[in-house]
Structure 1
Amino acid sequence: METVRLALIVSFLVTFSGLVQAQYVPEEKRQTETAADTTAPKKKEKTQAGREKPEKAPKVKSESTNSFWKKISFGGNIGGGFGDPTFLDISPTIGYKLSDKFELGLGPNYAYYRFKNDSFSADDHLYGGRVYGQFNLTKSIFARGEIESIRVSFPDSGLAEAPVRR
């Protein structure tokens, strides 16, 4: 029975860990300039005397605050299945871009599962955390390495008293 339970947990985590993924992209990164906008000269404003007005410098936020938040990314997984068995998985992440290609991040994990049949039932809350590193190969393709630590409870089913065979 322990083998069945462990197989269910592992298959649940493998199947649903990448079911839904999301990542927030700031609006200024989503907008692109057209070729016409970049090549067209800007019209200069003139004063009443006919002289050109000097261009105003754009307002800039503190350089360190602005650059820090541009390097932060949010994402994660949400997955679920209801019926028998029932699964729910919520795993948000937050990452920091060390460069244009590489990001390090972390996040909590929470999963709930319930399984019932005539001879076996299981109901548990799994939780833990993860740390990851992600290398962006292109804009939409990346390689990711991740390590997780998850708390799983195995109630005493009487199997612990059986002799261990080697």
Structure 2
Amino acid sequence: MKWSQLKKRIEENFAESVGGRIEVFTTAYRRQDEIARSWVVIDGKQKVSLTDVHAIWEHGAYFHEHTPTDCLTHPAVDDAKRTESNLHEVGEFSSYDFKTMCFESLSISAQDCIKAKHPLLRVIGVLHRKLGVAKAKELQNDPHPMVAYFAKFRVQAELANKQRQPTRTAQLL
């Protein structure tokens, strides 16, 4: 499947409250040995950037330990070593991780996504249209800061969306 098709399917699965506000991107730099970068934009601002180069430089492997692969993987970042204000550590995830988890999310339910060990899969799950707001609220306390951030974003978007929509009673009048 081409990236454009995968991107479309992923974004179509986003909840109505976040749809159009979040976009996912990826690119490969062909002249640099196919090194790739993936990123997530919220309301026109880049919030997450995942590069293959940083994964190799920082961890010596492209793949996170929870990404299903036969290739060399690197261990997850210890929570005690996290930088407080970062959604993820530099090199923690690669573009390969991101694309693999996007593909994976299409073959499992939103419930299975949020139960997964891989933080990127949990992020995709928390944004999924079939995941309820109550589950998203629970994920605001996720140990991984990126999952917690996107869960908070989803809950806030749902509240804002609810306030904009007229109540059923008002519609009947």
TM-score (ref. length: structure 2): 0.25
More strand by share: 1
Which of the pair has more CA radius of gyration?
1
Greater RCO (CA < 8 Å, at least 6 residues apart):
2
